[in-house]
Amino acid sequence: MNNTNLTYTATTLDQDTFLRDILSAKLLLSHSLVVRLKQQNKIKVNGYTAHVNYLINAGDIITIDMDLTEESKIIPEPIPLDIIYEDVDFLVVNKPAGMSTHPSRQGGTGTLANAVTYYWQELGRNTLFRPINRLDKDTSGLILIGNSQFAHQGIFNQVKGRTIERSYIALVEGLMANDSGRIDQPIARQDDKSRRRIVHLDGHPAVTHYQVLDKYPGHTLLSLRLETGRTHQIRVHLSFLGHPICGDLLYGCASPLIDRQALHANKLRFTHPRSGKEVILEVPLAVDIQSAINHLVK
C-alpha cells in the first residue's frame, strides 16, 4: 500500500497565505483534524515541523503525515473478511447477512468492527473503525470503511452532498404496478422504545429510487438507489408501498423462501478524495437471495 502522506506544493497564488488556510482550502482538512495533526507534529513545510500561522512562500512543499496514533476500544476477533477493495484510505467489505456492523455495547463481539480491527491489528495498525455506510444485521453487501480520519472526512462531504451512489437489490412481496418510481416519504421513529420506523409527516426527509428488474409468481425483484440514508429506509419505504421485502420480520412477515430480509447492497460508486478518480465496486447477489429467486422460477 502507498504511504499515508498528503503533499501540496505552494504556487505563486499561495504567497503570504497562512498555512492553516492552505490546510483548510487546498487539502480540505477539518479544524478538529488539524488540531490532532498539530498535537502529533504531523504538519511539515519543507521537511520541518511548522505552525499553522506560518506564512507560505511559493514553492514551499507542505507534507501532512496522516498516520495518526489512535486507540481503538473494539475487541479484535479473527473473523474472515470478504475484502472487495483496499487502498491507503479505504477498505470495502462484502458483509454477510447475520453480522452486525458495530457492537451494540462496549465489549461486544462477532461484528464487522471486530473482524476489521483484527485485520488491521495483524497489519500492525491501531486504527479506529469508521464505517461510511452501515447495513442492518440481516442485510448483506458492500460497506465502505475509512482507514483514517482524513478518509472519513473526505468521503463524508460526498455523503452530505449525496454524490455517493449506493445501490441495492431486493426481492419484495407482490407484483409492483410501476416499472420504476421515486419514493419521497419522511421517516420517523415509531416511538422511543421501538426499533421500528414509520412514514410520518414529522419525520426526516427520505428518498428512494426503484427499478423493476424481474417479476416472479407473487414477487418482484427490484434495484434500488438511496438518495438519503435513513435507518431502515428501504425497508420502511417498500413496506409503505405495500410491498415489504421478502422475509422482513420487522416490516413484513416470515417467508418460506428465505430466513432474513432479502436485501443486498450490491454496488458502490464514489469519488476518491485523494486521487479525484471515480471508484465503482459491485458484487454478485447473495447466495440465499439467489436461491429464493431460483425457487420462484422453477
Verify whether residue 136 is a known catalytic residue.
yes
> 170 and 238 in contact (C-beta within 8 Å)?
yes
Residue type, 275: S
CA 237 – CA 235 distance, rounded (Å): 6
Contact 119, 111 (CB under 8 A): no
Distance CA 289, CA 143 (A): 18
Query: From CA 76, how far away is CA 114, in angstroms rounded?
Result: 5
Single out the catalytic residue among 14, 136, 138, 248. 136
Query: Where are the extended beta strands (E) located within 56-136?
Result: 61-65, 83-86, 90-95, 130-131
* Phi-psi group of 110: left, alpha or beta (phi > 0 → left; psi -120 to 50 → alpha; rest → beta): left
Nearest 5°: CA angle at 257, between 255 and 263?
80
Tell me if 155 sits within 8 A of 164, measured CB to CB. yes
Residues ≥6 apart with Cβ < 8 Å to 22: 8, 10, 14, 56, 62
Where do we find the cell 505552525?
51
Question: Which residue numbers are catalytic?
Answer: 136
